[in-house]
Structure 1
Amino acid sequence: MMWLIRYICEKVGIADSQESWRSYDRMNKKIIERLDKTQL
Structure 2
Amino acid sequence: CSTEYINTCIEKLNKRPRKCLGWKTPYELFFNKALRLI
TM-score (norm 1): 0.41
TM-score (norm 2): 0.43
Q: Which gives a bigger RCO, structure 1 or 2 (Cα 8 Å, sep 6+)? A: 2
Which has the greater radius of gyration?
A: 1
